[in-house]
Amino acid sequence: MFAFGFGIAATNEKGECLDTFFPLPIYEPDVQLAAYLDKAFDDGVNELSTQQLNKIIEPLSGLGNQQADAQAHIVRAFSASTASADTANAKLVAVKLNADLAILSTPEAYLKLHLLSHCLCLPNSMNLDGLFEKLPTVCWTTAGPVDPSEITDRLTSARLKGQHLEVQSVDKFPRMTNYVIPPGVRIADASRVRLGAYLGAGTTVMHAGCVNFNAGALGPNMIEGRISQGVVVGAHSDLGGSSSTMGTLSGGGKIKLSLGENCLVGANAGTGIPLGDRCTIEAGLYITAGTHVELLANDGKASKIIKARELAGQSDLLFIRHSQTGKVICRTNLAAVELNETLHANN
């Protein structure tokens, strides 16, 4: 079994699903639990009544299995409060995905986004076909998800009752932190990290940082720049303030970008090519695939001029723009290499 989760789905006034929150989704449930779930639920989305919830608790706890116990704990909480959930335009669901196929419903889309943000699946490792089609555009408010066609009435009636609704976002993707708080992570402004972002332990996303879905930082990292959809940043690599990683959706071509370990993209800099390990782009310099770069040999003598795309994925590079000739230059990043040797010497 690919994945499973008990979830709370918010609905609009027609009963259509706006989002789904999975408190504890599972990637590849262990054999014992998978066998039980397979018997109990259909592939895809299963709506659950209180009666059904009550029936599940005993067999789940009876498995005597830690993973199953944790799920039984959630089902008990769901069961205790179905009534109020009904009032609140919510549905309780079990989503079972036998295999990693194209996305067929909103709850399935949310389950996959949860798997990414729980760091259970790496970006670019899952089938996300159908994601955009199955994610409705939602008004994300301080009173929860609201259908855009219902928002003006909600804003009006709140005001007339002396209450207040903040519309935080109008988007297909909600902020991650309303669903998943990965351990060991700090996020200065949570409105800038979408559900489906992957943030490994030790990662800090500062106020100017942004992380899209199906993208992320393996941790530890300092992220003050933008991580576009599909981009993965390796351990100990930092993105300076407002720095840019060019996305495939926005003119970056077909190469999927990634950064290796111990890289630094300086403040207001950017890259349109993937970087290996220990690469640096100086503050304010934007390297695109088509940038002509003078490649300097280790002895400092000019060797040749090439397009940056020919350096894609290589390690130990330092990119600067010479401040007196305006030339974009790439040197072997000797400082980083030496640092690396020091580290090895201390092993």
Catalytic residues: 224
Instruction: Restricting to residues 70-109, name those near its own copies by CB under 8 A.
Output: 74, 77-78, 80-81, 84-85, 87-90
The neighbouring-strand residues paired with 226 are 210, 244
Contacting its own copies (CB under 8 A), which of 38, 46, 294, 309?
294
Looking only at residues 167 through 206 of this chain, which bind its own copies when binding is defined by CB under 8 A? 167-173, 175, 177-179, 181, 183, 185-192, 194, 206
Q: Which of 1, 3, 8, 94 binds its own copies (CB under 8 A)?
A: 8
Handedness of CA 283, 237, 309, 336 (dihedral sign): positive
**Which one among 130, 144, 202, 253 touches its own copies, defined by CB under 8 A?**
144
With CB under 8 A as the contact rule, the residue among 208, 218, 232, 317 that binds its own copies is 208
Integer angstrom CA distances of residue 343 from 236, 239, 336, 337? 14, 22, 11, 10
Tell me which stretch binds its own copies (CB under 8 A): 47-55, 96-104, 105-113, 149-157.
149-157
Q: Considering only residues 327-346, where is the footprint of its own copies by CB under 8 A?
A: 327-328
Per DSSP, the three-state class of 29 is coil
How many residues belong to the site for its own copies (CB under 8 A)? 100
- Residue (34 or 72) nearer to its own copies, CB: 72
Instruction: Report the site for its own copies in 14-73 (rule: CB under 8 A).
Output: 21, 23-24
1 vs 269, which CB is nearer to its own copies?
269
Let me know the angle formed at the C-alpha of 329 by 323 and 334, rounded to the nearest 5 degrees: 105
CA atoms within 13 A on the CB side of 52: 11
For the CB of residue 347, give the shortest distance to its own copies in the complex, in Å: 25
Is there a contact between 1 and 27 (Cβ–Cβ < 8 Å)? no
Rounded CA Rg of the chain: 24
Residue placing its CB nearer to its own copies in the complex, 34 or 330? 330
310, burial (CB in 10 Å: exposed 0-12, middle 13-18, buried 19+): exposed
What's the closest the beta carbon of residue 345 comes to its own copies, in angstroms? Answer: 23
Q: How far is the CB of 171 from its own copies (least distance, A)?
A: 5
Q: In the complex with its own copies, which residue's Cβ is closer, 62 or 183?
A: 183
Position among 50, 54, 98, 288 found at the interface with its own copies (CB under 8 A): 288
In the complex with its own copies, the residue whose CB is nearer, 123 or 240, is: 240
Going by DSSP bridges, is the β-strand pair 215-217/232-233 parallel, antiparallel, or unpaired? parallel
DSSP, residue by residue, 259-322: E-SS-EE-TT-EESS-B-SS-EE-TT-EE-TT-EEEEEPTTS-EEEEEEGGGGTT-SSEEEEE-
Paired with 302 in beta bridges are: 296
Q: What distance in Å separates the CA atoms of residue 36 and residue 258, rounded to the nearest whole number?
A: 39
Q: 299-328: which residues touch its own copies (CB under 8 A)? A: 305, 321-328
* Residues 219 to 278 in contact with its own copies, rule: CB under 8 A: 222, 224, 226, 238, 240-244, 246, 250-251, 264, 266-270, 272
The span from the CA of 279 to the CA of 175, in Å, is: 31
Residue closer to its own copies, measured from CB, 64 or 162? 162
Chosen residue from 4, 110, 198, 286 binding its own copies by CB under 8 A = 286
